Amino acid sequence: MYFEDEYFKSEERDGFNISSMMKRYWASHIEVLSEFERVCNKIGVIYYADYGTLLGAVRHKGFIPWDDDMDICMLRGDYDRFRTLAPEEFQDGVMIYNNMATSLAPLRVVNTCAPMISEDFLVKYHMCPHSTGIDIYVLDKLPDSEQERKEFRELHQCIKYAAQRTDKAFMSEAEHKAIYANDAYSEEEFEHLLAIIEQVTGIKLDRAANMSVQLTNILDKVQSRYWETDSKEVVYLHGWARGARKPQPIKLYGEGVRLPFENIDIMAPEQYNDILIERFGENYMIPLREGAGHEYPGYRRSQQILIDTFAKCGLQVPDFLLDSEII
């Protein structure tokens, strides 16, 4: 992927300063997206820009100036096909970072799991040593009746809670403090909860095996249970279950359209305007800086790992690998 040297200079967009390293970080994401798209085209699946990536494509023709990740979504059918076929197709170190054992988080495609300073890596990823990638959200169908949706939400939350309780690695620290810190379940009561999950789903849990992995696999099966129905609405179920996402007509997505994004273009839902209005309101074209759901910049901790690793060897990290604005 070719970028003009000018692209990597720090600049101000919408009153926000973007550092040179952030530009390299963006470019690295675009390289991963390029490989991701190659694989999607080969195995015949459609993806769509989502969340801030979709908003950025429409409003900024690229990244939102204060954003630093890439979010996409897939309809359940494409998502399952991607998970099955994509791992064998990726090249040049790009890989699926998580799997069914971590399915409470979005599926993530990355170029590395830790900072890399090999010459080949740095050349390919525009002198950015940090892990970059794409978060993939699955869109599932919902039942049509409100009563069935209520029961479905309760079952979803019950299984998700059980998975997170068995392994706190499945949740963020903030989520744990907000929801689970004052856990009222005794061990006996929790065992009863597991028995209810078995009864409702018809799946037997092996108490001697990894419980969190079993429960996340069950949750995935539950989430996809309406995919083959004639239901006309889809949603990211983790967001919907906690009231953060609203279902939308599946027809809004369609075959997708291409939109400009930095120096490339990216796939977006056919009726992206309706999706953006639901997500961000009627005035979504007016830039409004809001905090992201993660630390900015996303490579802050990765840079510190580089500094600490070099320090243990009595060395300093070369300046070109650092963002001086966050040291």
State pLDDT tens for residues 166-191: 876 555 556 656 655 555 567 788 89
Residue 47 pLDDT exceeds 90: yes
Q: Which of 72-81, 127-136, 163-172, 264-273 has the lowest mean pLDDT?
A: 163-172
Q: What is the CATH number of domain 5-141+249-326?
A: 3.30.460
What per-residue confidence (pLDDT) applies to 165? 79
State pLDDT tens for residues 270-320: 999 999 999 999 999 999 886 556 789 999 999 999 999 999 999 999 999
User: How many alpha carbons lie under 13 Å from residue 247 in its C-beta half-sphere?
Assistant: 16
Most confident of 98-102, 206-210, 290-294, 323-327: 206-210
The rounded distance, in Å, linking the Cα atoms of 137 and 84 is: 16
Q: Which of 62-71, 129-138, 159-168, 209-218 has the lowest mean pLDDT?
A: 159-168
Domain segments of the chain as ranges: 5-141+249-326, 146-225
Residue 170 backbone dihedrals phi, psi, to 5 degrees? -85, 5
What per-residue confidence (pLDDT) applies to 187? 79
CA 25 to chain centre: 16
The rounded distance, in Å, linking the Cα atoms of 292 and 61 is: 19
Residue 42 pLDDT exceeds 70: yes
What per-residue confidence (pLDDT) applies to 103? 67
The rounded distance, in Å, linking the Cα atoms of 193 and 170 is: 18
For the entire predicted model, the pTM comes to 0.92
Structure tokens at 280: 């961000």
Residue 138 pLDDT exceeds 90: yes
Please report which confidence band the pLDDT of residue 153 belongs to, taking 50, 70 and 90 as the band edges. very high
- Which value, to the nearest 10 degrees, does the dihedral of the CA atoms of residues 118, 119, 125, 127 take? 100
